[in-house]
Each structure stands twice: as structure tokens, then as C-alpha cells.
Structure 1
């Protein structure tokens, strides 16, 4: 059984840097190994490792074999428990659970291992900033019973059923019922699963080599917890429907219906300059994704720039543009939130020929009137070249091109090298500046943006590390439409990110944060240090500065020059000084980032790493 304790020191803001480095007291943290069948007690506390959302968590490892069925329960009277399970070297969890233990705030995660290996469980609260004690227990579950032969359902039939403990379970340990039906190639049908007892989940697939191969699924129809799925059979044969709740803790009665699907939308003619009205209702054709939709076809030419607008007061609109070049057509772009419930797409056409515009709602069963317009607009002005170190002055006015939010903008082009850092600064006394950067290939899609990174009110500063060799485009615009005026733009080559230095346990490093240092995504500067550490030893990492609010992070290097954050601290020593007590999980090399908590803060600091006696 384990319990973690920690102490946070406050009230030292007036102490000198040397005194702070000598101060004692810390927060503590441990990591553990899950032993199947054994429980443990632990606590979430300040100083624990935090995830990207700022939520503290404890980590536990467990070794599983392929096909092994695993269950872990987390119970707490202090917070809403939340569990995440990760495979080896995975950034995304293979399974999560919030409240499947059936008691409202307790979690029960079940998982069948895909492969042999070491898995990592993260135990945390559902809400960030929640702390307290919890109990954790892991168990091996017996093999699942063989699935019974599916029932049958015919086209045009509705039937009722019950999900309960007597049903078979899938790989996520969720009980299900199964039904078989036959279909011809290309035959379209709509499946509707409704229940007042649970949140429904509907799957269609085939049984191959004794296993279920999912072909399509639906969780909800966009408006309720019921499921609605339009399915087009890829070949003639038998198919299987699986009816199940969304989570393992649910069950109850349901109704399943299998009906012929409405015909797919047929494209109507649309001409440049047209503005037309339409209505979506229960009689509207349904697309292959189950949405009521209207389809329009127009002819475009390569290099032509078009502006498509979809407006409705009765429903939240969704607009999709396709190149009509085959079955299925090539999807080029979509939009659902240009202005409230309205949608808008601006695009330069890549080739000459037919294009398709799909009009639908954000959810499957919307109803109401809409207005669709298609217009040709002036070609996008080629970006002006800008050199590193240059300061470009210009003016934004109504003669400049418009983006999708009706903001006039100027654009600039430069060539960069993968891994190099660029800094872009925009200043204006006439409007609130807004910066975006995109690859020059294809349509403009922002890779990064900034509104007020310079910290001076209306000016912007965008720090960005180039992901590849090639040309890039900068867009400078006002933050909102209908603003114009003079501006200056500066492009700075900051070179590759500085390589981490090194620091020894027992040593103190003194440095200065400045604009030449590496920058985090939020615009804060940091210096990085490599440190060799041994499993089980506890390190005390202290960072002090009288120039800025200190922030220290410890983690592992990742392939993309980022780090996996293992622990961090902002004010463990005082309001502006950081102190982190951290137990090393494995032998190896780790990265310590000594940085500022705020954006663009600079100045001198001292960093000390010592081994806890």
C-alpha cells in the first residue's frame, strides 16, 4: 500500500536568491508498479506530475500479454476519479474511463491487451486542480465466453431487446447483442437504435476469421443519445449489427430498426453568381454519413477563387466542397462556424472541371430554410517576398483581399529550413494586429497564430519552429473585420533551437533568459539542461529569480524535440520561485527546463539540482 505526502512552502517572496537555494521543504511524488490482485492507497497532491491540461496524475506500470483481459478500479471520496491506459511509447491512451464503476464518481477501466508489453496507467481526477486520497486495485479478468450465434433482422423490420449481464462482451468488455442481415452490393439502409435506458452505440461489420471487423459505427444522431447510421453495403453478402451501450456500466431495453435508406442526394446545377434558397426537412435525401443533405454542382477553372456562403436561422449549417473526380469525390474543405450558425468557404481551385457543394446541418436531423450563394472573387494577390532581418511597412485597407472572416490582409513569403526558429513581429498604432503562418503549398492553413505576443496591447509576436524545408506564407491582418491602417512587419531568423546544456547533481547553474533562448508554445523562454539520474533517487530542483516568475519542468526528450513532461513547479518555494522534489522513475537521461512562467519574461536566474539525503 502506498500513500504520497507533500509540503508546499509559502511566504518566502522577500528572501534573497541565495537564501532560497538553501531553504528546505518540498513536495513529494512516487511512481509505482501495479500488481494484479493487490490494492493500494495513494493521493493526488500539489507537486505531482501534470498532463498537458494541467491536471496532476500518478503513474503506474503493468505488464500484460496479448489477449490478457485487465481491469482496474479507482475509488475516491475526494474527487471524480479518471483513468487512462497507455501502451509503450504511445501519446494517446488505448483506453479511458470516468465512471464505469457505477457509483457516480468512481472509475473502472477494462482493457484487452493488443500485444505483449509494458502499459502505463495514469490515475487522476476528472477535473484539473482536484486533489485527495484514492484507492486503486487491478485484477486479471477471466477469458470472455464464446459469442453466441447472432439473431436475424430483415430489411423493414423493427425489434426490441435487452442488454444485461447474460450478454456476450466485446474487446472493451461492453455487453452487446448481435443481429445478422443480408444485403446486395451498393444497397443502402438506415439503422436506428433507440433506448431510454442507456447511451446507445451502433456498429455494422462482418465476421472474418472468427472476429468482428467493424465497417461503420454511430454513437448519436447529433441531437439525442440515440444512434442513427446510413450504411451502403460494399459487396453482396451477410453483415452483422452490434447493439451496445456506450460504456460498460450501462444496460436496459432498446429498439432496433433496419429500414431502406432515403435516396442519396442528386446534384443540382449551381452557377457562379447564384444565390438560392432551399429547405432541409424529413423528406430531404440522406448522404452516406446519415445527414440530410442537398448537393450542388458547378464548373470551375484552375486558379479561380470562389466564395461559398451558407446561411440559416433555423439550424447550425455545415458546408463541404468536393472535386467531382470520381466515386467518392475528393473532399477539399469544409466549414461550420464562420459566423454563428453560418458557414463560409473561400478557396482557389486547383484544377478545371466540375465541383460539388454539399449543404447540410451540423447534426443529422436538422430542419429549416437556408440560403446558399456562390461568387467569384478576385484572385489572391501573390505574397510579397520578405527577407530575414527586414522590416516591411505597409497599410491594410479595403483594396486588400479578404479572408474567411472578412478581414483584409497582406501576405508575405519566405524560404526556411527545417528546425530553424523564426520570429515575426507586427506593430500598428491603428489596429489590433493578428499574425498567421502557413506552408506555401496548397490553400492557406494556419500552422500557428498570434494576437498579442509582444505583450504591448495591440502588437503581435509569433515564435515558430519550421517543420520542414520550403516556402512559408505570413498573413498580417487586423484581429477583427472593418479595421485598417498602417503597420510594420519584421521577420527574424533565430536559428535552430539551442542544444540543451548539462548539469550535475549537486551543481548550481546560473544563466539569463533572453529573446535568443528557446520559446515554449505560450511564448515563454527557457533554457534546457540534460541530467543523468538513477532510478529511485529523489532530486530536489530549485530555481530562483528576482527578475521573473520562475517555472521549472523535468521530462524526457521526444523525437520531435519536445519533451514528455514528468513533473513541474511554479511556486513551490514562494510565489515567484520554484522548488520541485522528484523521484526518478528509471535510469537514464532527463531534461530540465528552467523557464519563466509568463510570456516574454527575461532576466537572470539560478538553478540548483541536489540529491535528497
Structure 2
């Protein structure tokens, strides 16, 4: 009876009931208590008797807990400040002792529960609490309990059999690293006997992974450079790329420089003057663009005709500089003179305030920078053609950042529907965000963007109604084609056309990164004789939780319930707790893999077939009506219901009936769902969902998985892999399994989750 424990900043909650203190006994280090689980003791919601203890600990304190019994299979649970949560069943497989070695994250009271693995077990036990760690115990709290504290310099170690392992089988040594918000740290791991892999988890949602050092191609060494988002203690894990690898290694810590005392630029609150040079810092607390870059914004009071030379330099990230102002003026620059620094030479078109934006080329980059605003005394540069009377040919090459002017006329080519068209092309990169804009006072503007693969996106009206603006993230590398045309056939006149880098949508920029997914993840394989057992469905739940955790998006308040834990009461309790924890900036996920059922009910608008659908848990069922009530208790940015079970499509009408709720269902409401044996998964939806939410659904490479991207990815996978999988109704009618997706009021570009920066997630291996 061994329960899988996942490595993360804090372990997943596998029991649902919060602790209610009843005459708790106070423990201190060195305590050894003998107690008895009795029939008159308090119980967990899942039926186990429990005794409660309290321990007052200090931040950074290392403790060991051991619970043993000859009468029952012991289970330890610890809850503490700010949602701290650790559980352990067996110190080793088939053991009758539960062990936890913890490094406490905060000062405060910690509740310790002595209970049993199975419901109703009773008998005597021994509970011990020590300073330090018990040999062989599970390390918890996301802290290094046995391998020491990291300091600047090199540390030698060895991965060996008998070490702790990740849930995927790799041996791992863990180290504690005290970090301060805003400080930058650089770690490297090298080895001759195995392929090194580094992981960092810590306060403020810190989550960084790396396989190969990006600066040293051809080597297998691993390197991570990060800036701490909060004060606290991080865990550095030295491990291997493949399971079971062993050997000696060298772990090096560099770059513990203290952040200089500089004023951080708040958007539209910090003024710049001509001739001024300003030091700044991109940090995790700054505003972010939709595509994930941190951003500082400054205001400059400019004059018409004024020539400026703007420069943004940094040794820590690739700078990106932008300016915008009156008369729709905007200019952007990534690299100056072939280097990584950014420079803009501009002539201001009008008097008024201008916004100067300091950001990075890639999402998530942080560190110090220097921004300079000087008078441009160099020779005047030729600006892109933009005069209203200038003619543009019906086709031409432009670059991102260029603006041209042209005219639709009777001599131009036409579309099949009769509209005149001028065609332009530009080179784009996957993940690049651009704004394609067409303005005209003579006709109703219309643009058509065609990707290298031929995929087409049309846009009619921009913000002003008759102009066209298409703000998008490019989905592939190569040449893009833009057709500049009109809404109605035969319209002519002059226009202004541009393709420019985009700073993104404020709505998307507001989607926070980090552990913002609050999830209840349920999988039932063992039905205890009440239903036929199912293969892999419990693993569906555990693997999904692991993927989300490794991506750094799963909140520690999330609950995973499998097999005997997955009762009706535990699911209801989980909803009550997680719904209270999740807020309007968060995403909620309910996932279930297991049996589904139907029952007769009155014919109604919500049940026109006269059948109600339900998911089958270990001891009962939750139907679509109750699921609707449970979802009604949420106050989150977006909620996702994912059911991989027979007849699951019937939940759509009852649950996806309110704003912000999206449903993914493995089959239509009257058809069964098959086990995905070829993928060793309980269901096809479960298998593809894991990959999609780990980044496979991120079609445009901007590290945001949107509702539209996830839906498109899942549909494509089902068309490829599930097209000929047979299904049947409860009456025996034969058909095929079809995915059901209902976005309800969720828009195509609403963000499901924001992934870690490219290459940083373990799931990207």
C-alpha cells in the first residue's frame, strides 16, 4: 500500500478534510508518544480514525516524524502555515511505518495527524518527533533535508542506488538554497557518467528546469540562471535526464550578486527627461505582456519634430525597446547594429506624452538594464514610405516594423468576389507577436493573413469600425502573405498599411503565471467489487497532476483522489475547500477518469432524452445536476470540466451553462468511451490532455495554452487516433467514440494556463 509522492515545493493533498482541533496534544522535538486509534475518535471524511497533535516550528527547522503500529497500517499527515501540506503512508514498500523528514517553510503551528491507511482500522501506535531526519524517510516541504545547504562555489556529489528518486524514476540529490527576492543565481551541473538535469523549486512560484546548457552546445552539462521572485528557501535538485542513471557530479553556484538599489519603473508613473540615463530592473512583480515578457513603462514629454536616440542595454537579457504616442505613432526595435542591445532613432510627429517601454525579447527574462534618452544629432535617416499620396505596387516585400502607403485602384488584381487587392509578404518566426494594421478613409479596410502552411486568418474591423487590425502570434517560421483589400467589391482609394511588433492584449497580459491552477483530479481503477475494475484510470489522475506540477502551474491546494480515496464525500469536501482557496485570478480544473453511468429521469429541456448522466466514484455517483451546483460555488477566472468516462457528453448542458466554464468530454452523452490501451492510459482524452497542457497544444509557441488551441489540439489528436474506435449506447446501438468540446462563454483566445518559459519545463524533455 504505497502511495505515489510527487516532488514539488509542497506535496499534493491526497486527503480532503481540513483539520478541526479537538484537545490536541502539544509535541516538541524529542517527543515519543504512545496512543490508540479508538472507535470513539474523530474521523476523516473518508472514514479513518485520527488523533491530532500540534507542534510549533521555526522557518528552516528540519524535523523528522515517525508513526509505527503493529495493529494497523499507519498514515501521517502534516498541515501548516500558508497551505503547507505533507502526507506519507509507507517509509518503504509493504512497510508498517510512516516517515516524514521536513524542513519547515514558516514560523508557526503545524498540525500532525496520526491515522490509518484504510477506513475503520484501530489499535495502538507510537509517534516520534526529532530534530533532524530519520534514515529512509520521505523528504517533504520542498526542502533539502539530507544533502545540506548550498553556498557559493562547487560541491561534489554522487547519484547512487539507494538515493531518493523522482516519481519518474531518476535518482536525485536535493540541496537547500536561501534566496532573496530580486537576486540572480546561476547553477551548473556537470558529470561524466550520466546526462545531468537540474530542477529548482522555491518561494513565489519559482520553478525552473534545464537539461542542456543553452550557452554550450554539444555538451550535456546543465545550467540554470534565475532571479528569485520572493524571499525564502529554494530546493535545488541534482538529477539525471534518464531514469536509473548514476555517477559522480559537480554542482556549482555562481552569481549571488546583490540587486542594486534602483527605482522600479511603474507603468505610466515614471517620467524621463531628455539627456537622462536611467537604471532599472525587470522583476517577477512587474506587469507582463500577453506573451510573457516583463515590462517597465516610462513617460516622455515630447515636441513635434524632436529627434530622439533611445538605447536599452543589459548584460542579463536580450533588450527590446518600444515607443508610442500621439497620432498613432509607434516604433520598435529588438537588436541594434547586429548585437543584442536595442536602439531606436525616431522623429516625434506631435507635441504630447510618449510611452517608452523597456522589456525583453523572450518571455520571462529578468535582470538589470540601462535606458538612455538622448537628442539624435546624427544624420537623418530615410523613414519608411508613408505619405498618403504615395503609390504601392500590388505586391511587395516589407519587414516587421515597416509602414507603407498605397492605393487600391481599378488596375489592381482582384479577388474572386471582385475586391481589388495588393499583396505583401514578410518573414516571420514562430511565437512572434505582430500587429497587421490597415487604415483608410476611402474604403472599409479588410486584411487576409496567410501563413507559410496556407492557414488563413481574416480581419474586417479594427477598433475604429472601418479600419482593420489583426493582432496575432505567428504559428510557424517562414514567409507570410498579407492581402490588403476592401470589405466590398469595387472599392478604391488610398490606405496606410503596417506590420509591426505587438505589445499584446491587456486581457491576456493580466493572466498570471505560476501555480494558478486549482485542481481536483480524480481517477478510479479499483472499484472494490462494486463495478468492474478499469486499467490505468488511476494513473491518468496521478500523471496529469505530475505534469501540471512539473510545469509549475499546479497550486499546492489541489487535491488528487484515487481508488478508495475517491468517494462522493471526499469529492464534495474537496470542492468546498478548493473553491474557497481559488480566486478570480485563478483557473479551476475538475478532472475525472473512470466509469460513467446513465439513469432514467423526466424528459426536460436539460434532459431531452430522458436520461441523466453521472460519474461513478468508489462508493457512489455524482450526476450532472450536482456537478452544476458544485461548479456554481466557484469564483475563478476560468473553470475547466474534463470527464473521461462513458456518456460524459451529457454533462455539457447542465454544467457549461454559465460564463467562464469550458467542458471537455471523451464521448457523446449516449455513447461509451474506450480504454486507450495503445497509450497505456485509461482514456484517450486523459492521454492527450496531459500532452496538451504540458505545451503540445501551444500552437503558436507563445507559452500560453488558450481555449482555442487546446480544443484544436484535442480534435486533431482524436481525428488521428480515435477515428475508428467503436462505441455503443446503453441499448446496444453501435457507433464511434467522438470527442465533445463545449466552450460555452469561454472565448477562443482565453488563456487556460501560462506555461513556464520555453525549455524550462521537465515536460519538454
Q: Same fold (TM over 0.5)?
A: no
More RCO (CA 8 Å, sep 6+):
1
TM-score by length of 2: 0.30
Structure with more strand by fraction: 1
Structure with more helix by fraction: 2
TM-score by length of 1: 0.35
